[in-house]
Amino acid sequence: MPRTRRGAAGAVLGLVVLVAAAALSAGAPARAAVACPWMSRTLSPGKRTAMLLAAMTTAQKLALVVGVDPHAALGVADGPLYVGYVPGNADLCIPALTFNDGPAGVADLQVGTTAFPAPIAQAATWDTSLQRRFGAALGLEAWEKGIDVLLAPDVNIARVPENGRNFEGFGEDPFLSGQTAAAEIAGIQQNPVIATVKHYAVNSQETNRYYVSSNVDDRTLHEIYLPPFEAAVKQAHVGAVMCAYGLVNASFSCQDQPLLTTVLRGQFGFPGFVVSDWGATWSTVASADAGLDIEMPGGLFYGGALADAVASGAVSSPTIDAMASRILTTMFRIGVFDEPPPALASVSATDVSSPADQALALRVAEEGTVLLKDDRRALPLDLHAGETVAVIGAPAGFGDIRAYAGGRGSAFVAAATPVPPLQAIAARAAKVGASVVFADGSDPVAAAALAHSADVAVVFAYDHEQEGRDRPDLQLPDAQDELVSAVAEANPSTVVVLDTGGPVLMPWLGQVPAVVEAWYSGQRDGDAIAAVLFGDVNPSGKLPQTFPATNDAVPTSSPAQWPGDRQAQDAEFTEGIHVGYRWYDTEKVAPLFPFGYGLSYTRFAYSHLRIARMRSNVSVSFTVANSGARPGSEIAQLYVDDPRVAGEPPKQLAGYDRVFLRPHRSTRVTITLTPRSLSYWDSPKARWRVAHGLYRILVGSSSRDIRLRGFLRR
């Protein structure tokens, strides 16, 4: 059973005491039974909300829909605090809503939380049960730090490879992103913590992020950019949605009626609340009418302006009731009223990063690491007593290692006890009597000389991804290409480890026998990479995003697409549904490494494809065997190629399964396709439609390594 607050509730006496103390410190539920009949847990969230709303004044409702400065509200001068705060109301037994980031661990509070691998690494595991465990751990750490609204996950599709927040999302495929998000959200909300799926909608670049209009057609919106949000709502019952910076088709996301109401509430059936991104609200009446429930971080457009609008009748009372109702129902449903988190003052210095969470961070890092190249069996390293490894590059342990373990911006988590790769590799090498020498890489000549003197060289390279800024291009910064080339020339046994948040170019690829993509892999970074390099862990991660061969061979190569026309005012999504591998396949462009790709120290064989109809669903099954010599996990992928009339790309991911196999063992994998897996969005009719004709069922080890093919007629 996951170690979650709600899972443990009631069973542990200490917990009950803690919760009671927390509730009292929030100044509320002591009088609950008498003064606040809606505090009865036996009533449904809907009933409790109706009772509470009936007892509220308009001013009290208006106070719920806007953030205030937490420092001022709590009388704290500075120091770690919430990123967003809606005060509670003791008379009504309403607890405060406390918001914090984020997707790679509980951010901002600065001390005592686990720095998990970046979401792109989480996605690279393709492991929904691990993602759920991660969510549960993240949610519990949030609760223990006094947070009841966690601003994660980020499901924006990686449309532009240079996007500065690439590391913060789950890659380029809507299905993989949706499944990853749903698993994480389910985990988070096992605790009395509201998950917030973000940024709704599109939000695919950082250049001019507050004002850029993503000009995208309706079909593309439904097939590529919205499905992860839909999965978050329908599969995981996410409590909150954050509307995005920027505009979609010239309309600000946080006041877009079709997006917030027609699609999110109408088509997806979302009952929760919508919170604006920080500073993404641009109007009072239009936003309230469109369905924005909470303005963050403060009340520029809600607050006093909204009170005036209600007084004048410009915004109706039922609208305010609906907003308050969505917030309160979500709080009741997820447990914020019944198990509010402890007050910040009592926990700001507490270390909530448990050994179990750190072990989980390690597991995610290990499973998410992608082996991109391994020629001549360069890996795993086979070192002997007396041999030397030259470890080169800043991320290995020079300077602030934390800078390379996570991307920058609101998602950044400062780990208390990071394990630098240099330390972990040295410890592992010592076990076989080998030793390590180190160069920071700032002087390529010195680094090459060091590599020449060693038996093996491991070079660490990084990129700088951060919120608020796109990368200028896909080249490694700071002359690292020269460094890698120089080292590879000096020692043919050179392994490159990439600590990047997304794709980078590799002009030196032909010079090195092995490359590993380790992403920004959190505080156990070093342990994970040492385990993979030495073969203690057999790599199994697969790319959630295509790695292009050049800066230009990308789906968004024209300036109108990215950063957009008129100084990035208008990003034209002219590639339409051809995002990521969909574009490479359609245009027959060879990527450097394709979507879904990743090597292993063992081999897997696929056989015996069977496609069977089961009423409206289709069951696809096949056998995967480990035909190599080591135990390992394979991520089997199922793609669908629709009939031509549907106008879809040559293949789209429709299912996957991660299987662990010992050598010479095999297993049967079964993946169920639903009508939706075979549908395209019929824009004029505003509905999903299954085209008539022949579907090709493609099963393989990556999007460009299809091992089994079958047909299905619809």
The residues of the shown chain that bind ligand NOJ, judged by CB under 6 A, are 83, 101-102, 151, 198-199, 277-278, 410
- For residue 65, count other CB atoms closer than 10 A to its CB: 23
Those residues whose C-beta lies under 8 Å from the C-beta of residue 117, and which sit 6 or more positions away, are: 104, 361, 364, 365, 368, 519, 520, 521, 522
Name the minimum Å distance from CB 107 to ligand NOJ: 8
Name the minimum Å distance from CB 669 to ligand NOJ: 36
Residue closer to ligand NOJ by CB (options 12, 72) is 72
Candidates 133, 139, 236, 249; CA nearest to 178 is 236
Asked if 485 and 461 touch (Cβ cutoff 8 Å), the reply is no
Residue closer to ligand NOJ by CB (options 151, 490) is 151
Name the minimum Å distance from CB 274 to ligand NOJ: 14
Q: Which residues of 612-637 are buried (b: 16+ CB within 10 A; e: fewer)?
A: eeeeeebebebbbbbebeeebbbbbb
Which of 277, 293, 338, 357 is catalytic? The answer is 277
Q: Tell me the C-alpha distance between 364 and 123, whole Å.
A: 9
- For residue 140, count other CB atoms closer than 10 A to its CB: 28
Residue closer to ligand NOJ by CB (options 85, 278) is 278
Q: What angle do CA 476, 228, 586 make, to 5 degrees?
A: 60
Contacts 24+ apart (CB under 8 A), 625-628: 625/661, 625/664, 625/665, 625/666, 625/667, 626/602, 626/661, 626/662, 626/663, 626/664, 626/665, 626/666, 627/602, 627/603, 627/664, 628/600, 628/601, 628/602, 628/603, 628/604, 628/663
Residue closer to ligand NOJ by CB (options 151, 352) is 151
Name the minimum Å distance from CB 238 to ligand NOJ: 14
Asked if 666 and 628 touch (Cβ cutoff 8 Å), the reply is no
Q: 347: part of which helix (H) or strand (E)?
A: helix 344-347
Q: What angle do CA 43, 46, 51 make, to 5 degrees?
A: 75
Please state the length of the chain: 714
DSSP annotation string for 122-165: HHHTT-HHHHHHHHHHHHHHHHHTT-SEE---B-----STT-TT
Burial of 553 (0-12, 13-18, 19+ CB in 10 A): middle
For β-strands 666-673 and 617-626, DSSP reports them as: antiparallel
Burial of 588 (0-12, 13-18, 19+ CB in 10 A): exposed
Residue closer to ligand NOJ by CB (options 279, 492) is 279
Asked if 170 and 180 touch (Cβ cutoff 8 Å), the reply is yes
Q: Tell me the C-alpha distance between 165 and 119, whole Å.
A: 10
Residue closer to ligand NOJ by CB (options 230, 277) is 277
Residue closer to ligand NOJ by CB (options 101, 172) is 101
Q: Which residues of 560-571 are buried (b: 16+ CB within 10 A; e: fewer)?
A: ebbbbeeebebb
Q: What angle do CA 178, 184, 190 make, to 5 degrees?
A: 130
Residue closer to ligand NOJ by CB (options 410, 633) is 410
Helix residue spans in 157-312 (DSSP H): 174-188, 218-220, 227-234, 257, 285-290, 303-312
Residue closer to ligand NOJ by CB (options 243, 654) is 243
- For residue 12, count other CB atoms closer than 10 A to its CB: 10
Residue closer to ligand NOJ by CB (options 145, 199) is 199
Asked if 550 and 529 touch (Cβ cutoff 8 Å), the reply is no
277 has catalytic annotation: yes
Residue closer to ligand NOJ by CB (options 151, 620) is 151
Those residues whose C-beta lies under 8 Å from the C-beta of residue 469, and which sit 6 or more positions away, are: 164, 206, 207
Residue closer to ligand NOJ by CB (options 409, 594) is 409
Name the minimum Å distance from CB 65 to ligand NOJ: 17
Residue closer to ligand NOJ by CB (options 113, 325) is 113
How far out from the chain centre does Cα 533 lie? Answer: 25
Name the minimum Å distance from CB 468 to ligand NOJ: 9
Name the minimum Å distance from CB 15 to ligand NOJ: 29
Candidates 297, 267, 263, 293; CA nearest to 280 is 297
Candidates 519, 470, 516; CA nearest to 159 is 470
Name the minimum Å distance from CB 151 to ligand NOJ: 4
Name the minimum Å distance from CB 199 to ligand NOJ: 6
Name the minimum Å distance from CB 108 to ligand NOJ: 7
Name the minimum Å distance from CB 676 to ligand NOJ: 28
Helix (H, G, I), strand (E, B) or coil at 660: strand
Q: Tell me the C-alpha distance between 538 and 600, whole Å.
A: 6
Name the minimum Å distance from CB 417 to ligand NOJ: 24
Q: Tell me the C-alpha distance between 210 and 226, whole Å.
A: 20
Name the minimum Å distance from CB 471 to ligand NOJ: 17
Task: Return phi, psi of residue 104, to 5°.
Answer: -115, 15
Sign of CA dihedral 281, 284, 286, 291: positive
**Residues with catalytic roles:** 277
